[in-house]
Chain A
Amino acid sequence: MFKWFGKVNFSPYTKVTDFADHLKDGRLMGSKCKKCGQESFPPRADCNNCLSGDFEFIEFSGKAKLLSYTVIHAAPTGFEDVVPYTIGVVDLKETGRLLAWIGDTIPDKDIKIGMDLQVVPQVFDELEEIKVYYSLEKPGTAWSKA
């Protein structure tokens, strides 16, 4: 159910809908094209290399390196209650990149481009509906539900 993904979700319907179910179970999944083997993150159903629509989910380690980051002070609609928040873009160990909030295990002053980070699945506990996301944490941080 991809509508579970994100504080505000803009695309509830997608061919990679099971991504959010896996995330809820504590697994970060990329995709692999069953025909040519190309791996992607974010996951994609349709291969832009060989045009095949046949794919499978593969689990990623969540090991990552910080490429860039910013502290957002002026928030868009739906995020006013969480400012200021820090987002980071990371290169994933397997392939591809991911954008996420930098979590509580990393104080702002310790953030450095090139640092190692761990992508950790997260659930918004304070919300009644199911809402999942991932955050960037200190290497070794375990998923809280695991």
Chain B
Amino acid sequence: MARVGIIGIGHGQFGRRSDATVQELAFEAYREAVQDAQIDPKDLDGSVIGSVPEYHKQRSLPGVVQEYLGLNPLPTWLTEVACASGSAAIRTAWMGIQSGAHKLMAVIGCQKMTELSTPEILALMGRVGEVQWESVFGTTFPAYYALFAKSHMHEYGTTREQLLQVAVKNHFYGARNPNALFRKEITMEKAMESEPVSDPLQVYDCCANADGAACVILASEEIAKKSSKPVVWLDGLGCATASMSVLRRPNLVGLPSAEQASHVAYEMAGVTAKDIKVAEVHDCFTIAEIMAYEDLGFCKKGEGGRFIEEKQSYLEGRTPVNIDGGLKSKGHPIGATGVSMTVEVVKQLRGEAGERQVPNADIGLTHNVGGIGQYCFVHVLRRD
């Protein structure tokens, strides 16, 4: 199979962006990616937008983004699978290029969350759970992950401290990422004192809603090989689903979709978990990162708590994870997140991550989860 390369990356400032519309956020990331790729936008032949429409007042988002980027009359469309929408957009562009229908595409993940109030967002996100039998009891998104956390703690003895060690790590690196929402380190004491959200999860276990955008330029192998930039290849793509309802999951200690998607991605790329030098995983809650270590095979099932306690996911550890601050510290503009993860892994593989650089990173991974694991996309990226 021919390869598809990433030849340009762009990342806007994440945060409460009451200074910009969603298309203006998209433009920031797009401009940076086009300049990074050193391409003429006229050579693009389409775009894919990753976003979750219900948070925006604007209906039919791709139209307004495409116009503002100046890309009419090129084709565009939206991909939506909750918080994994950005990775779905990347997969869709990869499919477009593999099919021969496209050669050079812009993938833009963009989201404006803060047009809504927190209770409105809690209500909308809670309905990523099943609405007929679950939302009627006032379930929230943090509540679902709290159910996972309780189960994981009960089954494997995972501790509150271990959960919050994920937050401490991600803030440590987020403090060193200029695009992050929270650019300050936190202490365990401060994290332990934070407000309860959904027992056992407290404020510091939860990522923050944010506005923001990220963009990558995907090219056919033929075009990518002519790029003046070091090319990062999309070599393994796995995606899988699990039941919408938490009531129909085999257990509450992991995400079967993540396990399945990683198997597919590793096999396609011809690698194993041990080969991954740097990973971006979906830490919407601290427990989510711990389950990701296990689902992706960075450690054995049940050992995720010890993995963070031993600092194995720090830059110097066995598998550095979320060295850009993760969702926890960067903020989580849901449609943008998968593309943001990809931008960070490309930076790492190019050796452009500055003080956050993982030495000799040649193979990286993104793990982007939609909802409570109803969807999961795992991508393996490799530098030549």
Interface: B198 (CB within 8 A): yes
- Give A123 to B235 CA distance when docked, in angstroms: 56
Q: Among B127-135, B174-182, B319-327, which stretch is in contact with chain A? A: B127-135
Contact of A10 with B136 at beta-carbon distance under 8 Å, contacts A77-B119, A113-B150 already known: yes
Interchain CB contact under 8 A, B198 and A8: no
Could you say which interface size class chain B belongs to?
Answer: 35 or more
Q: Tell whether, in the assembled complex, residue B138 and residue A75 are in contact, meaning their CB atoms are under 8 Å apart.
A: yes
Interface segment, B84-92, B98-106, B139-147, B275-283?
A: B139-147
A interface residue count range (under 10 / 10 to 19 / 20 to 34 / 35 or more):
35 or more
B134 touches A70 (CB 8 A): no
- Residue in A5, A70, A101 whose beta carbon sits within 8 Å of that of B199 in the complex: A70
With contacts defined as CB atoms under 8 Å apart, how many contacts are there between chain A and chain B in the complex? 114
Chain A residues numbered 95-135 whose CB sits less than 8 Å from any CB in chain B: 96-101, 113, 133
A81 and B33 CA atoms in complex are apart in Å by: 47
State how many angstroms separate the Cβ of A12 from the closest Cβ of chain B: 10
User: Which residues of B sit under 8 angstroms from A96, Cβ to Cβ?
Assistant: 247
Contact among B119, B198, B201 with A80 in the assembled complex (CB-CB below 8 Å): B119
Query: Within 8 Å of chain B (Cβ to Cβ): is A143?
Result: no
With a CB–CB cut-off of 8 A, which chain A residues contact B199?
Answer: 70-73
Q: Besides the contacts A7-B136, A68-B252, A69-B150, what 19 more A-B pairs have beta carbons closer than 8 Å?
A: A5-B136, A6-B135, A7-B138, A8-B135, A42-B247, A67-B151, A67-B252, A69-B147, A70-B150, A73-B197, A75-B122, A76-B119, A76-B126, A82-B138, A87-B139, A87-B143, A87-B147, A89-B247, A99-B137
Chain B residues proximal to chain A, CB less than 8 Å: 118-120, 122-123, 126-127, 131-140, 142-143, 146-151, 154, 195-201, 245-248, 252
